[in-house]
Amino acid sequence: MARQARRREKLRWSKLYTFSCIRPPVLLDPEISPPLQGPGFSRVVYCNQPRVHRKKPFRYPTNYISTTKYNAITFFPKALFEQFRRVANIYFLLAAILSLTPVAPFSAVSMIAPLCFVVGLSMAKEALEDWRRFVQDMKVNNRKVNIHKGGGSFGYKPWQKIRVGDVVKVEKDQFFPADLLLLSSSYEDGICYVETMNLDGETNLKVKRCLEATLSLEDDKAFQDFSAIIRCEDPNPNLYSFVGNFEYDQLVFALDPSQILLRDSKLRNTSYVFGVAIFTGHDSKVMQNATSSPSKRSRIEKKMDQIIYILFTLLVVISLISSIGFAVKTKYGMPEWWYMQPGNTTNLYDPTQPALSGIFHLVTALILYGYLLPISLYVSIELVKVLQAMFINQDIQMYDEEIGKPAQARTSNLNEELGQVDTILSDKTGTLTCNQMDFLKCSIAGVSYGVGSSEVEIAAAKLMASEMTNGQGRLSGNQNPWESGAFRNSEIELESGVTCKIDKARKSTVKGFSFEDNRLLDGNWTAEINADVILMFFRVLALCHTAIPEPNEETGSFNYESESPDEGAFLVAAREFGFEFCKRTQSSVFLRERYPSSEPVTREFKVLNILEFSSKRKRMSVILSDEEGQILLLCKGADSIIFERLSKNGRMYEGETSKHLNEYGEAGLRTLALAYRKLEESEYSSWNAEFVKAKTAIGPEREALLENMADLMEKDLTLVGATGVEDKLQKGVPQCIDKLAQAGLKIWVLTGDKMETAINIGFACSLLRQGMKQICISTLTPDPLAQDTKKVVKESVSLQITNALQMIKLEKDPHAAFALIIDGKTLSYALEDDLRYDFLSLAVDCASVICCRVSPKQKAMVTRLVKEGTGRTTLAIGDGANDVGMIQEADIGVGISGVEGMQAVMASDFSIAQFRFLERLLVVHGHWCYKRIAQMICYFFYKNIAFGLTLFYFEAYTGFSGQSVYDDWYMLLFNVILTSLPVISLGVFEQDVSSDVCLQFPALYQQGPKNLFFDWYRILGWMANGIYSSLVIFFLSINVFYDQAFREGGQTADMAAVGTTMFTCIIWAVNMQIALIMSHFTWIQHLFVWGSVATWYLFLAGYGALSPLYSRNAYRILAEALAPAPIYWAATLLVTAACNLPYLTHISFQRLINPLDHHVIQEIKYFGKDVEDRHMWTRERSKARQETKIGFTARVDAKIRLLRSKLHKKYSSLGPFSSSS
């Protein structure tokens, strides 16, 4: 099979490529060149001898990887540490220990059992979530790969079995399992194509080439006696560098990054490669870029700790008051209380040692008033968060039918954080884009072709038509142009005369080709005036590339394996236009041309040279000879690069083409200019002779020589046209970004892709737009004679940042928008300690930020800077292994569970199938979860303060005796049963507005980032409400029953009757309070709230029916004592009304005088105004969006301002004529 593949792929690309893989073998003299050694260069790899590395001094790690937080050994101590980071749990642990002493007012079981339950439940949840990460890890670790077993025999083993030194055979479209040194490939000259999208986000393929010395290792048997030694750098996170030596056949060869295949990149367009493992497992560069799984806590949970501190302080204060009061009573009152037998006491109440008695009573009080710190709060929150996560997982609106994956809350600890996000940091490739290019428009000979519209144009035109139809704004006189019929057609004219159809979205039948224009299709172009230029345009499309055609048996056509998706789209377009690239040999390419002749003709073009694309050159050229012997240079590249290389006679169409390029860019398309040059044979021969000398030169100047030779050839070009290719965004991405921007979220794009691509995507997503001022921070090439190059570059970056800050500060136009664009090299300086906060200040002042060519480590560093520098909640979203660092560093990490690897998902807190689902995850679920958890916690503290302080009041009322007014069973059931289900229903089902309204009014989301429902004003307000309620409950109940006849016989109430009545009032008051809080009722809420009240009466009746041995003072208390007494029911009604009256007054006053956004929307929906008065509903919707300078809405607003300005000028100029007539 290997031999057959090698025969099929006899393409010696090394004779064609100029920059990527033609490297003369670097042979080092071992006697002259010192071996790599010392710090940072200590790694030694014995190839094909993996067992050597298991022993000292090597002990290199296996290829097993883990992204879990725990393992079998560390789970118990680390999980316990996580639980006792919660200060309330520390208090309950101390209380549980003290409950074992005689001073405890309750039994030890009643304190220890709840603590064990709470901590155990939380640890079980942590274990379950980490188990899911472990399962994902094992899926990766158990992938199969071909490994040399010895004797020239290969066999499949799991990835985790690979050791350093193993020879591995990787086949087409497989991921590399470790960092490998390329030994040979299925191509004769040992090159291979690698897709690194998982590492750096780039979609174009990289060319790798092995050393000439290992080309002979061409099949399995060749490795029977293979041995070599690699000495290289130690493991490090730098993806773009590698330094090492290769000792083979008593010779030493230098290694560089062009021979290294990194883990998680993918083999493309190559049948197989052989490689030897250099770095495995966590030593590999991609794992070096990963950070350890962090322990994340939400801001609400951290703030809850501060509330616990306040309540603990309150607990200590009232306990001190109680103990001091007890000590005073013990000293002065105890000797007179003969019935207490003061002569026969213990240290717990000894009149001779009141201070010691007070200390013992302090411990008793700390445990007794522990109801101020609700241990059940943590259980309830854990349960609520798990149920919230289940709703997120089961949301059908976030289910992707194409790949069959739902949204998944991989951890439920951060649900409420989703509602407080301030900044989103997003990857580009695979996250915003789906890496599919569509040929949409082209400009040939100064004529623009293609009447279809990009997604950007369609959505922008729809918004503009909507704005115009709504008739907002009157310009002059009695005439309102916005309400006229001129703008209500199915087409709308955008800037520069581009007409956009908005009837319906286009449906492309050919993948990669969405072109619509009959002037060029079906051979109609032959009737055009410039048919010869159009012919050359199509040939440039079909010939200027490095792709390989593969027959498609199903369609009878060809699939193209190209270095970039752009090339694939060009070849598909050329085929649809009638110029099908059908065959490539070592020296020729073949086109099947259907036009201009009547019958298809196959033409051969001999390939002489390829000057391939690089991010530095920004262009690509091929030199070939046609069937008539004419030598042609065909070139495509960035318009700025091509235009400066045009000849005087080749600029005929430059003006019109430049205009079309600007229009295509505004439409969010990727653009390239196409040109050609005819060469004389003598001119080419002399150039080629010099070119061959440059290619074979040895030394550092070789690359510069090649650049100069390429420049000599790529000049005096003739422009033929330009292309507009749409980088297909994932479905719904522009709309999602627009909605998130309206919700007030800032969006940064961090990509490993080159700057031009990132800028194009910025336009496509409306993160950038025409008129937005771009601030490009870059590193200028320093003077080579400068003494301190790094210092010069750093000063340059600092100056650029300072100037940009000053420019923004001096800007007067309120509608002006700035975009910051910076590359990875510059970012390395901007992230240094003395510049990082200046850079952050500049970035925060800009409407959008795009960071290009950034490494995974830099993504994490930028995320950390934003998180720590702004103090706001950050969310990072990505789909590849290169995004793991920033996903883990951000407050919330979201992984895209797309078609590529699952590394990002494994490291994430939430996973979604497509970027567009982020809108619903944040604007709907985030908003709901934040308000639910915030209101739930505030209510929990309210009810526990209201309940717990009544114990203190009664103790003070009874001489600080430590006596509880309530039966032990009442106190046990208060948080567990009688008030737990209503608060859980609040945390799970509460909706201030429906999901549709959340999406229609995105500004509602800002209630989370502004923390309106969990700020100190609201927290202290609820605490004050709890204190007020406790005072009302206690003193009203005591005063009502104090000296009133309670029963028919004239008896007054005893402590059991008073305590039960007070408890009834508490149950009614807190359940009525939660009913007033709820905005959204279902039968579940009604059942839980009113069912809890009913449960109290059922319990009281059942408990009283038990034998007095069990029910004690509560024997038949409801049936015989309380129920027949009207004062019991009257007191309940009076206390419940008095407790809830202040909240009812407050909320009524707020809704009337100063309503919040959701109050207004609730009333509109309740009175049906959204149906009766659509104009008012639309107006409210337009107001309910944050002012933003990015997104479709901002783009359309800018267009409308421009059109209004033009129309205003037009009508102003017509004013005198209209008045005179």
Is residue 427 part of the annotated active site? The answer reads yes
DSSP character at residue 975: I
Question: 3-class SS at 720?
Answer: strand
Distance CA 729, CA 850 (A): 17
Distance CA 399, CA 392 (A): 10
Token code pair at residue 539 = 């040939």
Q: Cβ of 1054: how many Cβ atoms within 10 Å?
A: 13
Element (H, E) at 144: strand 144-150
Provide the β-strand partners of residue 410: none
Task: Identify the CA nearest to 1210 among candidates 470, 473, 475, 472.
Answer: 475
**Burial tier of 900 (Cβ tally within 10 Å: 0-12, 13-18, 19+):** buried
Q: What is the dihedral of CA 886, 892, 897, 903, to 10 degrees?
A: 40
> What's the alpha-carbon Rg for the chain, to the nearest Å?
38
Q: What is the DSSP string of 369-416?
A: GGGGS-HHHHHHHHHHHHHHHHHHHT-GGG-BTTTTB--EES-STTGG
Question: 3-class SS at 780?
Answer: coil
DSSP character at residue 781: P
Query: 590 near 582, Cβ under 8 Å?
Result: yes
Question: 3-class SS at 233?
Answer: coil
Cα–Cα distance list, 778 to 755, 809, 820 (Å)? 11, 21, 11
Distance CA 110, CA 968 (A): 10
Dihedral over Cα of 1001, 1005, 1010, 1011: its sign: positive
Distance CA 738, CA 1186 (A): 11
Query: 1085 near 981, Cβ under 8 Å?
Result: no
Token code pair at residue 749 = 């794009």
Calculate the CA 553 to chain-centre distance: 40
Distance CA 359, CA 946 (A): 26
Query: 890 near 874, Cβ under 8 Å?
Result: yes
Question: 3-class SS at 773?
Answer: strand
Query: 579 near 541, Cβ under 8 Å?
Result: yes
Question: 3-class SS at 119?
Answer: helix
Query: 1036 near 1058, Cβ under 8 Å?
Result: no
Task: Identify the CA nearest to 541 among candidates 622, 646, 480.
Answer: 622
Distance CA 270, CA 173 (A): 8
Distance CA 886, CA 891 (A): 10
Write down the catalytic residue from 130, 137, 189, 427: 427
Distance CA 70, CA 294 (A): 11
Determine the residue type at 708: N
Distance CA 895, CA 730 (A): 15
Query: 1166 near 823, Cβ under 8 Å?
Result: no
Q: How many residues does the chain have?
A: 1221
Distance CA 212, CA 47 (A): 17
Element (H, E) at 588: strand 588-593
Distance CA 254, CA 25 (A): 8
Residues designated catalytic = 427
